[in-house]
Chain A
Amino acid sequence: MIWILDITMLFFLVVCAIAAISIKDLLSAIIILSAYSLIMAVVWVEMHSVDVGFTEAAVGAGITTVLFIATLARTEGRSED
């Protein structure tokens, strides 16, 4: 375990999570959520859970982003609250 890498990854994870919920532009929120998933996948692999990391990268960073963006194309793209 490279603990400096772990701490850095977890720090960016928290930054991404806070940014994703506090940003008003929904497209930016989706992309940040995708970055969150990618970092999470690296954290899973770092924790020797390759299978879960694989799933996180394929589903979280891949398909979910595409589905969210496709949904966003039918909406206004800005959060009201």
Chain B
Amino acid sequence: MSRIQESVIIRTVVRIMVPFIELFALYVIMHGAGGPGGGFQGGVIFGAAIILYAMIYGIAEGKQKMSDALDRILASTGLTIYAGTGLLCLFFGGMFLQYGAVPLIPNDPATVSKYLIDLVEIGIGTTVAAIMISLFFDVSPPESEEGELPEELPDHEGVDG
């Protein structure tokens, strides 16, 4: 365990912050159609919350909360939601992702399209979050020196060049 991970202040702050970061990520995902944000950004923020948790509480603890199997399931679920919505539009005679073609509410393609855009955003967000987390677990240091941040790098005297 590194010095950063032992700090009570950092552990407490991270424990309190993570739910709020996740809530903000959900807001960004759901608000994507009407303003700045969207599935990709929200997914990245959601992944960052889990990564923050895994960085401070250790990779092993993080993998307990977000195992590789769960990662894989979430990544493929998001893709299925996205592609499924697109194919649903194809099924009802529209083009791929032409939301208005789905007769969910009769004679109101605009509302249907609003709901289906949100569905697609959720799919994108799920996949992006899962991929970001698995990327971090893939590049993070191995179990033995778990979660060691490069504060203990051999030497960095700084600028020469």
Which A residues have a C-beta under 8 Å from some C-beta of B? Answer: 22-25, 27-28, 50-51, 53-55, 58-59, 62-63, 66-67, 69-74, 76-78
Chain B binding surface SS class: loop
21 contacts between A and B (CB under 8 A): A22-B161, A23-B161, A24-B159, A25-B156, A28-B159, A51-B36, A53-B36, A54-B28, A54-B36, A62-B45, A62-B48, A63-B47, A63-B132, A66-B48, A66-B51, A66-B136, A69-B150, A72-B153, A73-B140, A73-B149, A78-B156
B84 contacts across to A, CB distance below 8 A: none
Name which residue of chain A comes closest to B52, CB basis: A66
What's the Cα separation between A58 and B154 when bound, in Å?
30
- Is B139 part of the contact surface with A, judged by Cβ < 8 Å? yes
Contact indicator per residue, chain B 134-155, by CB within 8 Å of chain A (1) or not (0): 0110011110000011100111
Interface size class of B (residues with CB under 8 A): 20 to 34
> In the complex the two chains form, is B139's CB within 8 Å of A24's CB?
no
> In the complex the two chains form, is A77's CB within 8 Å of B135's CB?
no
